[in-house]
Structure 1
Amino acid sequence: MKCTECGFDKLSREFPSDIISKRCNHIPTWCLKCLLNHLLNNNANDKHELSCPQCNATLTQNELSSLKLTWEKVQILVEVPSVNVFKNDKVISEEKGEFYVALLNGQKYTIRLEQVKTVRELKQVLTQMTGIESRKQKLIFDGVELKVLKNTKFQFGGDMKLIEYGIREGSLVQLIVVLYSITKEVSISNLSFDLHWGFPLSGVDYLDGTCLIYAGNVLWKKYDYSSPFDPNIPYIKHSGDIINMAAERGRHIITIQLDQLPMEITKLYFILSAWGCPNIGHFRNPSFLLYDEDSPKKDQLCDYSIQTAATSQAVIMCYVARSMDDCWEVIPVGKLSNGNALNYHPIKSSINEIEKNIRQQR
């Protein structure tokens, strides 16, 4: 869960298990730490005036004591490992050595703690190294998203140090690039994946567009030329092969109504693979669009270059993931893989490797 006050993703145990006062009528979205900071500050000013920061309902001293006891029982602090860091001044001073930042395609960048000390600095350096804008960078370490804080009310100040997150020599930070956020305010109901390709220089062959849909770690459904439609799932459709023999070109279109997907669906992986040719590079002028079908401008939501996968039989181009607040994010991957629409096992293994790398940071 994400605390609406500090903005950190935290374990459920770090939130109140129930309403914080008998007079509250809502689920608390502030974590215990933020709640107690607020309540204890108010209590220091006037011990008879304690109120819920979300609804202003009055709290008793017994209810405050209960919250403090609950917080004391929490064993794991996800927000920041700095509680332990601050206990050891020697550890804080040892900001030395190399750590690593990895993209989902396996590419790694080496950075030195002596040169990059804060989250803000890390994002700036990664922009220089990768060309990825800071606002599109989602950095995950040990289950926590590294953030540049916009306020200074916490003891660690407004710009978190990497060492306060527990990053040390040899640490691996996962960089997830959020190309596009599909929020409730900017809703996309009809997502379209539109793939075009030219035949190889000799003969007719197919560059397959596939969507593998996952519910957690389980493959929920496959959509490709051989599995274009399920009458029980009318909101997803694959066009099958659309062939123009005169122009020597082919086309695949996948359309998905995101707002109709069951809540258990978490990710949609989009894959390209060569059918008969040994690699994607044999196809002439391949191109694709991932866009909102209802948008008049048809803005591209993923800017992956197919040409970078020319020597590979398949490439996992990107995925669309459901976020914690029930919105969607477009994440580029660009992971090369063996396999094709005749044999998905190597592609599934590559996806499992991606998921494993993400889970190791959670």
Structure 2
Amino acid sequence: MECTKCRLTKPINEFPSQTVLDACKHPAFSCLRCIVKSVEDDSKCPECPLQVLKDNERVAFFKSQLHYLFKEYTVNSDDGTIIDCIDQDHAIAEGQEYQLYIVLFDGQKHKISCDKESTVLSLKSKIKAVTKKDECIQRLFFRDKEMPNYSSLSIPSKLTDFNIPSGSSLKLVIVLQTIKEDEIPSIVFELSWEVPETQVQTFFSRIKLSQPKTVYSKEDCVDCTCFIFSGHEHLDICDYKRKNTFEGIRHSGDIFNETGTAGSQKMVVDLKTLSLETTHLFFTISSYNSEALKKYKKITLSVYEQSSPEVKLCELKLNKVKDSQAVIVCRATRNPKSGSWQVCEMQVPSKGTALEAYGELIKTLVGVLPELKTVE
């Protein structure tokens, strides 16, 4: 993802999940380092004229994120082992609370207080209270290693099993659904939304139709797109223009209800037909020709078997659309050993539209891929 201030392409975790002030009316597309520097040097937001106090609580939080991302290490002179400074910086003093930071893929960070002797399952219960995500769909990672609920001896895993210092960050991956190719060969990914009144036009087709046909005005519309990857290599795109260009994925084009107040686009994925080199499918929603998606309400992802559309395998309501031009909604990742696909929530904001061939959106996706290696 490219920072609008320094113009450098950086991993998604080097960007904030929100703007420095709630009053900012723009997307959060400046990196953490540029935000902190702008506040320290000029006492202002790097993307707008709003003044920001140097002791702003959100800026302090951004500094702590940078500290974690770029923390220093020292080497033990006796045996050459690496000592993580976090062990020293966050050692628990007597009576001090044990705290962990839970980091989601979209950059959201939640502080959780718990007992150091807690089990992984009890930590997940605390995470559910904050994120509203059930324990069964949570995967936690510390230093790029997953923290299972149970040990190999079927004993509940404890935080002490992983030597996690207080103040550490744990990555949280939300698995919406695991789909086996043998059991459900054809899956539908449907994105739906409410159509803004100002952009609905009703007209009768020249051929005689009993019902009016409803379409967007030419000023703007919503595009749902599937980006196909093989490892880090971008293979193809499936969207309203390229509906059937990649074998195994079909795009429906625009679908509207009779009143024209709700729209949707569907992408049908035939899992068994996909080439073996296909490893990742990223499903995105983007505005065709405007700066933000915020005028489209109730954007929802529904995943279901093509033969049983009434039975939802999973559903996700987007909550980070506000100032984003595009959002990477979710990804489906193939496990070649088990013959299954994991559908994971992402909700990563980005720039990029079909009008400019998704250039910025592809940059964001390429920046996300290295981070995926640590949670797969």
Normalising by structure 2, report the TM-score: 0.61
Following superposition, the deviation at residue 150 of structure 1 comes to 6.4
1:154-165 map, 5 Å: 158-165=155-162
**Which residue in 2 is equivalent to 1:318?**
330
**CA deviation vs aligned residue, 1:152-186 (integer Å, no higher than 9, x gap):** 47xxxx2323232232244322111111111356x
Q: Secondary structure at the match of 1:149?
A: coil
Unaligned ranges ≥5, structure 1? 1-83, 85-89
Q: Are 1:351 and 2:365 matched, yes or no?
A: yes
- The structure-2 alpha-carbon separation of the partners of 1:113 and 1:200, relative to structure 1 and needing over 3 Å to count, comes to closer
Change (3 A) 1:104 1:293: same
Of 310, 314, 327, 1:298 maps to 310
The letter for the 2-side match of 1:299 is: V
Count of aligned residue pairs for this structure pair: 264
- Tell me the residue number matched to 2:266: 253
Q: CA deviation at 1:239?
A: 2.6
Q: Render the CA deviation track for 1:305-354: whole Å, top value 9, x for unaligned.
A: 14641432111111111135221111111112221222323222332343
Query: Identity of aligned pairs, percent?
Result: 27
SS at match of 1:202: helix
* CA displacement 1:195-249 (0-9 Å, x = unmatched): 344543334131100001111122121111222222xx44221233457897366
Supply the distance in 2 between the matched residues of 1:214 and 1:122 (Cα, whole angstroms): 34
Match of 2:20 in 1: none
Confirm or deny: 8 A CA contact 1:302 1:330 kept in the other structure: no
TM-score (structure 1 length as normaliser)? 0.63
Residue 170 of structure 2 corresponds to which residue in structure 1?
173
CA separation of 1:151/1:350 partners in 2, compared to 1, >3 Å: closer, same or farther?
same
Residues 116/274 of structure 1: CA separation in 2 closer, same or farther (3 Å cut):
farther
**What RMSD, in angstroms, separates the aligned Cα atoms of the two structures?**
3.1
Greater strand fraction, Structure 1 or Structure 2: 2
Q: 1:128 to 1:190 in 2, by over 3 A?
A: same
Shift in CA distance, 200/152, structure 1 to aligned 2, threshold 3 Å: closer
Counterparts of 1:299 and 1:172, CA distance in 2: 36
Amino acid aligned to 1:165: F
> Does the residue aligned with 1:280 lie in a helix, a strand or coil?
coil
User: Are 1:217 and 2:218 counterparts?
Assistant: no
Name the CA distance, whole Å, in 2 between partners of 1:209 and 1:116: 45
Shift in CA distance, 151/359, structure 1 to aligned 2, threshold 3 Å: closer
Q: Per the alignment, do residues 298 and 216 of structure 1 end up closer, same or farther by CA in structure 2, a change over 3 Å counting?
A: farther
Corresponding residue for residue 208 of structure 1: 223
CA distance in 1, matches of 2:252, 2:234: 21
| SS of aligned partner of 2:127 | helix
Alignment of 1:130-279 (within 5 A): 130-149=131-150, 152=153, 158-183=155-180, 187-203=183-199, 204=217, 205-230=220-245, 233-242=246-255, 247=260, 250-279=263-292
Q: Which amino acid aligns with 2:291?
A: P
Quote the Cα distance in structure 2 between the aligned partners of 1:172 and 1:308: 22
Q: Judging changes above 3 Å, is the alpha-carbon distance between structure 1 residues 219 and 161 closer, same or farther for their aligned structure 2 residues?
A: same
The question of whether the paired residues in 2 share the 8 Å contact of 1:95 and 1:113 is answered with: no
**SS of corresponding position for 1:329:** strand
Q: CA distance change for structure 1 residues 348 and 265 in 2, over 3 Å: closer, same or farther?
A: same
- 2:189 maps to amino acid: F
CA distance in 2, matches of 1:195, 1:274: 13
Determine which structure has more spread, i.e. the larger CA radius of gyration. Answer: 1
1:107-142 alpha-carbon deviations (Å, 9 max, x no partner)? 112234645633122212112222211111111223
Whole-Å Cα distance in 1 between the matches of residues 330 and 106 of structure 2?
10
The residue number in structure 2 matching 1:15 is: none
Q: What SS is found at the alignment partner of 2:315?
A: coil
CA contact (8 A) 2:301 2:317 kept: no
Task: Flag the 1:190–1:303 CA change in 2: closer, same or farther, 3 A.
Answer: same
Residue identity opposite 2:325 in structure 1: Q
- 1:252 maps to a residue whose letter is Q
Aligned 8 A contact 1:197 1:287 in 2: yes
4+ aligned runs moved over 6 Å, structure 1: 243-246
State the distance in 2 between where 1:159 and 1:285 align: 39
Give, as a single letter, the amino acid of the residue that structure 2 aligns with 1:336: P
- Deviation readout 1:237-295 (Å, 9 max, x if unpaired): 12334578973665422111012222222211110001123322223665553221022
Cα distance in 2 for partners of 1:256, 1:120 equals 34
